[in-house]
Structures are given as structure tokens and as C-alpha cells.
Amino acid sequence: MKRRQFLKTAGVASLSLSAVGTASADPGETYRPGGPKRGSPNAINLNAFHTNDELARTLAKIERQSERVSLREIARSAGRNDPVWEVEVGDGDTDVHLITQIHGDEPTGTEVALDLIKTLATSHSQQVEHILDNLSFTIIPRVNPDGAMYHYDYDDDGTEEWVGRRQNTQPWTASDSRHEPYYHSTYPAGDPGYDMNRDFNVRPPAEFTPGADDDADWWTKEDGEWSMDMPHEGHTLFDSGLRLTPEVRAVTESFIETDPDYAITHHHKGGNVYPGSGDGNKPQKQTLLSVMAPYGEHYRDRSPFFPDDYEPVSAAVNPFLDEETSTRSIRLNSLVIDALAQRGDSVFDSVTRYGYYPLWGSYLDALCPNLANGGDSVPGMLYETAYQTDDLGQKAVGRMLQLTTTGFLESFEALADDPSLGGYSVDTYFDTPLFGESTGTR
């Protein structure tokens, strides 16, 4: 069965299961068929967040104040020509690569990354000293400066509002690739741009340029949109990215240079119900954090969506992640679940997970195989926090950011204690419920 056929089938099946745990919370991570409209703008008051200029000034100030931090411009955004920053901090042997706001309309990750960088740069707490002795961070706190600063007349009142945008702002032209890929869009407001978390490619840039070295046979057209299903080492990698954006090329180089031990990507999720809440006398509760681990064939049987006879394997799991990496990937997610459970903060007592299947143009699935560094594959985590201005006032947003930063710090403290994650169980992850049905908010 082709992946698209399968996903259409799975979409129908999951509807009858109230869409439990399918990747539909973040339209971010939604596969096209049956999902919400791509690029739906978020009703977020972006005035609460750093502009690109403010981000640059804040990072420069932190670098001036701290000898622990080094700051580097690794690219300029395709549309606005604004810098993409990379921050390095820490001296430990275990390298963590962390990216945020690859989707421009998901700004809290950047704020959390900034808080985290400030704390790591300036704090003399035992916790921070311990983290920095054991871990080294490479953080890209805003992968998508174009989308972050996107303006258009959102409410049709004749003036443009700063609303954020999922994509960057970059046109496609016929010389860029054989076909315009499905993840290039003109929504909203008619401006062209790429969903950059579909633009990654598993093959190393030094040996392969996807938009130039591809073959006509790899392309398929469905519902008027083109996808490149790239063959590699006996597998078909559906909807592979073309690495057409300067931002994604820079993140790819940053990852290859870092050759990290762990990879983390922060996203936003929509509002989803915590499974089982709202039963009996218990109030209905929203899950505010969902995590997801990429993994390989060793854990295929635990994949929530795939029947036994489902082929090919590359649509179910990531075959380039070996058993050891897959286990650590899952344990990294277990660590966060454990670290937050121990806090007892009500806001994080509702962690859920995504049911995993690979997206071959995404950061985690394309980069964690780490083929540029000899295939020494990297465990990963998708970390998604819910955010909704309609539900949360500014004070609550501040608290959410603070708790997310605290959650990250406690997770990194736990990782510093046990960098190989030997003390964590894969069952913690698989026993965590898939997130429940949508609350209808984003």
C-alpha cells in the first residue's frame, strides 16, 4: 500500500476513534489528506514575543555578558534577509541540538529557548553548573524569521497585523526543482513560502542535491500537488524534502557540524483533551504537552497505526535508526515525562504522546539518521506545548513559558545525571496515552 493511500485509510479509521493520537494536533505535523488546512494562521497576539531585531539584540547582550555563550549567524532568511542565529553554551561531553520556531506561527519555543539560554549563560546555581559540566548545547532559537514576522490583513480591516506564518516567504521558480513540491504554498495572503519542516532530506549535502540530482520517476502527483518519493538504500522515502530553503540548509549544516548525541525540536500543538478526563465527576482536562520519539524497526510492533502486514517499513518507522538509538530516543522522551511528573505542577500532569510515523522531510526523520557522519544515528524528541490566547491571558502565557523553561531545565538536569539514559524505561513512553480528541481550539 502506498503511504498516501494508507494515511487516507488511517484518517478514516482514526475519525471513528475520535482522532486519538494521530498527528493532527499541530497542523504543523499533520499529514495532508484529511488534515486541517495547511498554514492556518494562529490567533496569537505576537506583540508578546520578540521581534527579529529584539531577538538579535537580546542574544548579543547575553553573549556580551557571558563567557559561556558563543553566538553565530548561520544564514539569512529567504524573504526578509533576517539572521538565523545559532547559540552554543556548555562544556559537557553530551551534545544536544535544539531548534525552535521552524513554523513561524509557533513562537513560544523561541521565548523558552531565550529563557533557557539566559539561564545557562548567567546562573551560578548548582543545577546550571551541573548541566553545563555534562552537556553542551547548540540552539537555533528561531529557524523561521520570515514566518515569525509575517504581516497581513488577518481580520480584513484594511491594515496589516503581525500574525506569524507557518512557512517562510520564498517563491518557487521552475529552475529550483523538477516540480513545485507540495509543501510550497501561497497561503495565507497569497505570498509564496515553504513549510520548512518538510524541506529536509536524509542524504548528506556533500553527496546529493535533491532538487538537482533527482530522477523524474521519483515524482508523483496527487490532488494537483507534486511529491518526491526518494529511493534510498532499498527504501522509498515518501515526500522527501528538496532542501530548497537557506534556513533548512543552515540547520542541516549546524546539525552535521555538531554531530549531536540528542536532537530536540519544539513545536506548538492545538488544544486536545487528556484521555479519560471528563469521565464521571472528573473535569475535562486539556493536555498541554505532547512528546514524540522517532524510532526504527525494532519498535515497529509498538507503532499505534500500522497493521502487521503493512508495507513498506519506511512509512511506519525510520529504518535508519538502529535499536540502540531507537531505545535512547524513546528513553529521552520517558525522561521528560518522568521529570515533569515528579514536579506535580498541575499544568504538566497531563503529558501525552503522538503516535509516531516518519515524515521524511522533517528535521527529526531526515537528520537523526546522521548519514553525513557515517550513519551514527541520533536519538530525538518532538516537544509540543499547547498555546491558545483565547484560553490563556498574558499572565497565563508567562506562567506557561516559565513552566516550560523549568521543565526543560529539569529534563536537562536529569540528562546530565544520566547521559546514556540507562535509568529510564521505554514503557514509560509507551504507557503514556496518545493525546485525545481536539478541543476545537488551536
* Contact range with Zn ion by CB under 5 A, out of 23-31, 143-151, 329-337, 426-434: 23-31
Cα separation, 14 vs 350, whole angstroms = 21
CA–chain centroid gap for 170, Å, is 21
**For Zn ion, the closer CB: 150 or 306:** 150
26 binds Zn ion per the rule CB under 5 A: yes
Shortest separation between residue 26's beta carbon and Zn ion, angstroms: 5
**For Zn ion, the closer CB: 26 or 365:** 26
Shortest separation between residue 223's beta carbon and Zn ion, angstroms: 22
Give me the 316-345 binding string for Zn ion, x by CB under 5 A, dash otherwise: ------------------------------
**For Zn ion, the closer CB: 103 or 243:** 103
**For Zn ion, the closer CB: 187 or 218:** 187
Q: Which of 11, 28, 145, 164 binds Zn ion (CB under 5 A)?
A: 28
Cα separation, 164 vs 113, whole angstroms = 18
Shortest separation between residue 268's beta carbon and Zn ion, angstroms: 6
CA–chain centroid gap for 243, Å, is 17
Cα separation, 29 vs 227, whole angstroms = 17
Distances (CA, A) of 61 to 71, 119, 148: 10, 13, 21
430: its cell numbers: 509507551
Q: Which of 3, 97, 103, 243 binds Zn ion (CB under 5 A)?
A: 103
Q: Where is 140: in which H helix or E strand?
A: strand 135-140
Shortest separation between residue 22's beta carbon and Zn ion, angstroms: 15
Cα separation, 384 vs 335, whole angstroms = 15
Three-state SS for 143-168 is CCHHHHCCEECCCCCCCCEECCCCCC
Cα separation, 344 vs 324, whole angstroms = 31
Shortest separation between residue 103's beta carbon and Zn ion, angstroms: 4
Cα separation, 373 vs 116, whole angstroms = 28
Q: Residue 366: which of 318, 297, 401, 406 has the closest Cα?
A: 318
Q: How many H helices and E strands in the chain?
A: 11, 18
Pair 165, 41: CB distance under 8 Å: yes
Pair 359, 365: CB distance under 8 Å: yes
**For Zn ion, the closer CB: 243 or 267:** 267
* Contact range with Zn ion by CB under 5 A, out of 18-26, 58-66, 300-308, 432-440: 18-26
Place of cell 537555533: 140
195 binds Zn ion per the rule CB under 5 A: no
Shortest separation between residue 302's beta carbon and Zn ion, angstroms: 24
**For Zn ion, the closer CB: 109 or 210:** 109
Shortest separation between residue 174's beta carbon and Zn ion, angstroms: 29
**For Zn ion, the closer CB: 103 or 179:** 103
32 binds Zn ion per the rule CB under 5 A: no
Pair 166, 103: CB distance under 8 Å: yes
Window 43 to 82, contacts with Zn ion (CB under 5 A): none
Residue nearest to Zn ion (CB): 28
Q: Which residues contact 340 (CB under 8 A, 6 or more apart)?
A: 289, 348, 349, 351, 407, 410, 411
DSSP code at position 202: S
* Contact range with Zn ion by CB under 5 A, out of 104-112, 340-348, 360-368, 430-438: 104-112
Give me the 247-276 binding string for Zn ion, x by CB under 5 A, dash otherwise: --------------------x---------
* Contact range with Zn ion by CB under 5 A, out of 20-28, 217-225, 232-240, 276-284: 20-28
**For Zn ion, the closer CB: 30 or 240:** 30
Say how many residues touch Zn ion, by CB under 5 A: 5
Cα separation, 438 vs 441, whole angstroms = 7
Window 343 to 402, contacts with Zn ion (CB under 5 A): none
Beta strand pairing call for 262-269 and 380-386 = parallel
**For Zn ion, the closer CB: 99 or 416:** 99
Q: Where is 429: in which H helix or E strand?
A: helix 426-431
* Site of interaction with Zn ion (CB under 5 A): 26, 28, 103, 106, 267
